[in-house]
Chains A and B, each alone.
Chain A
């Protein structure tokens, strides 16, 4: 990581103390985890204080960590039944009221300081609440408006204090939050023209989910932390 980013990291850690925690980040980028209740004060300070001056919220997005690090295809041991695409598809119907793993949903903020030419990434985990709720930063950066609507639409994350939290990308009347990892890639409903009713109707999808290339995770010594020089490309 470059020296100036080290200095920025130190000044952020000194200014906010327990509210933020620096995360080991590859690629020489600076990432901080912010605690949920401190999000707004931290954001306001990052925008207004002269040593930070993050005037721009470049991007805001949700992430669902449900299947993080899960491989679909295990090849460490030989099978006696031969190989196939090998992806078992259990239909998991999410429990509508159960609380979530506190590190399942996160919201990621990418900030940019035009004045100092810094970039910064903040991540806030939503905790166990169902539905997940995060304070809105629309009051801090106006550009958050549509980004938060998008995160709500795709992940079902609510933003407390957002002036107009409507769906934005999906269809009018859409049900579900399609970018969650337990939402099937093929969707739940399909649209077709019904010649008898002489109109377009919705019906459950008639296609089977199919995996073309299974997700594999392999041990690769080249990427072992002690070999890979941290931030060599930063």
Chain B
């Protein structure tokens, strides 16, 4: 009989289930994985080095492009680090807006994760359902910042502007007549907060729909139960965070344990898994969708009742309004200084972390007192998760690699930076 040897297989970088540009070199014994060596860096843009060459505020936009499915959470980590160094605290209304958009972003991220994870391991419908709900939230991004993805909305000291009074509406076209459009625009007649509130009413029902499709689905369970099991001890040693850590049974969420902004006032629960397999992490993320919905509701209620400034009135780092700038010489000087040189940040170093949808997103910022960061290190959760790939897939079948990539919820914008 012929001798069979292990063979090496390239998975990606152009593979739809690789979630971007992951080149995975797999050593296979038949269909069983012996070793996995991820090659990353194909999307490396040196964001950290670029940030060293720009004034602080100009890099906020780069943060959106790190994890390009949870844009505002990235910005949040960055502005928190700057605020820590500047010793400023944003206005309360800005904090609520940030918390609300962090949770909207978490839902956006988890919906994309659920859709693509489902698509990868054989649940085509999920993708369509999830993208339907994502569309509404993307419209919120658009209404508040002007763009659907790369918002650049958070600023040191608050957010760029207050919530708008109107939502963008659909126009009749050859695909949608007046009647269709009237139905589609029904929720969009009021303010943005009305629209978000309407969404939070609808959304739990949608999550129930996803669960009827997946949670007790025999195929789904065959593909996820006991796949990629990580023990709690290993999860910590491997630097896991977020749903990856909670799926292994460790109750750790920065929103509860090291609360930032107004999370301490919010009423929500942290779901924790038991088995540490792909199915446990699926259940954790589904429950996080519901909890995020709860937080958004509380924020909407507060934001309705409490109007106020959304950015600090200190023109040393927040630009004056256009009206002020046109009529007041001091404001004009501030405007000019801020948009040419930027502001100087006192010497020091700060590490600010947020509970990003994927885990702990941290920004380590070193300033030497200049108008640019001296060193910016982005601690991307996906980087630590992907580094455990070998450990998680060793001994599994080839098809399980796809399930593990899906459960790690990796996005190359943040891993390669």
Contacts and interface: CB of A to CB of B under 8 A. Distances in A.
A216 interface: yes
A29 interface: yes
Chain B contact residues (Cβ within 8 angstroms of A): what range? 35 or more
A35 interface: no
Interface residues of A, number: 49
Interface of A is mostly: loop
Given A57-B239, A215-B370, A217-B344, A179 B49 contact: yes
Contacts of B350: 26-27, 29
Interface in B185-242: 234, 236-239, 241
B83 A233 contact: yes
Interface string B14-54: 00000000000000000000000000110010101110011
A114 B364 contact: no
Nearest to A183: B49
A143 B85 contact: no
Contacts of A232: 87
Interface in A165-207: 167-171, 178-179, 185
B369 A25 contact: no
A58 B84 contact: no
Interface in B88-132: 88-89
A117 B257 contact: yes
A169 B41 contact: yes
Given A141-B239, A146-B383, A220-B344, A59 B364 contact: yes
A143 B87 contact: no
Interface in B372-409: 372, 374-375, 377, 379, 383-384, 386-388
B349 interface: yes
Interface string A37-69: 000000000000000000111110101100011
Given A114-B250, A213-B54, A168 B237 contact: no
Which 3 A-B residue pairings sit nearest by Cβ, starting from the closest?
A143-B239, A26-B348, A223-B346
Given A59-B351, A108-B377, 6 more contacts: A26-B350, A59-B364, A114-B252, A215-B370, A232-B87, A233-B87
